Amino acid sequence: MTPLRMGWIGCGTHANEMLLPQLMRHPVRLQALCDVSDERLHETARRYGVADNNLLKDWKSLLARDDIDAIGMAVGPALHHEIGLAAIARGLPVFIEKPPAPNARAAQDLAEASKARKVPVVLGFMKRYSTANRIAANLVHAEKFGMPASFLGQYMTAPTYFEKDVDYTGFFLHHCVHYFDLVPHLMGEVSSISSRRFQIEPGKLLLHVDFAFRSGAIGTLVMGTHQSRGTPMEWWQVMGDHHRVEVRNLHEVRYFRAPPFKVNDLQATLRDHEDTLVWEPNFTVAANEDHKGYHTLLGDFIAVARGEARHVPDAQAGAQAMHLLEQAIGGL
């Protein structure tokens, strides 16, 4: 297969540590790199073998090239919006890290432009793609699970980002936004949303988000900036009628059904159709799983950029997540 020729904008931590390593496992050629920082540009070029004449400091020059099939970027909310619109105008399929824009209105612009120009946009909502989350979502969406009646989850972080300047915008935009995509992905359309907050002290915010879903189901999501990043940060559970799926720390799935008590059963055993199923990855083998989901997400982006149909987190999903975020926190 001919490699997809990618132009990449933003050579920061996330691009270097998460996105580019997974992107390069696919049939892709990094045709050109762009960053305003010389140091980051050259370090990234060294890692991925991009020649000096393909290193650019101005993203407009990168978009103007005629040897690029698709664009990827991880720069930040305002530039995601601005560069995203320019890539769409240029007709280049574009992978945009989250958040797609600094606010819901701007995210909606991107969605409308992508639809009007029929240029695919894929957003970095990789939580949908993590192996454990995919297993759990498929269980929840299977007919035999019945109606998902409730969601309960927590997605924490630490106050590190906020110690100097107590402004929670970064927490909302860079952290919380993920779950405003994941929760509707699991539970369906949200009919109303509200939140309560408690600030333990400046920089340490606790947010409880209350969801009602069009199906009648209900949900609570706890997010906050008062936990150590050295501890597991995520846990979620969806309950149906005598069914319950949980994902712990993005890698352990438990599926509870309706087993009978075993206490008086001398033949007690584990039965396929009723006892609890547990899935955990084997961390000993080479990395053939996709715990965080970046590899599969980027694979879907490449397929979409080549014209294949995939169910991806697109620009409209980004706008929806941003609208829900704004409703939950009362505006950005």
Binding stretches for ligand NAD (CB under 6 A): 9-15, 34-37, 40, 59, 74-76, 79, 97-98, 124, 126, 174
Nearest residue (CB) to ligand NAD, 124 versus 240: 124
Nearest residue (CB) to ligand NAD, 41 versus 139: 41
Nearest residue (CB) to ligand NAD, 84 versus 124: 124
Name the minimum Å distance from CB 184 to ligand NAD: 18
Nearest residue (CB) to ligand NAD, 41 versus 88: 41
Name the minimum Å distance from CB 37 to ligand NAD: 4
Name the minimum Å distance from CB 47 to ligand NAD: 13
Name the minimum Å distance from CB 261 to ligand NAD: 42
Side chain identity at residue 220, one-letter code: T
Residue nearest to ligand NAD (CB): 12
Name the minimum Å distance from CB 128 to ligand NAD: 11
Nearest residue (CB) to ligand NAD, 78 versus 278: 78
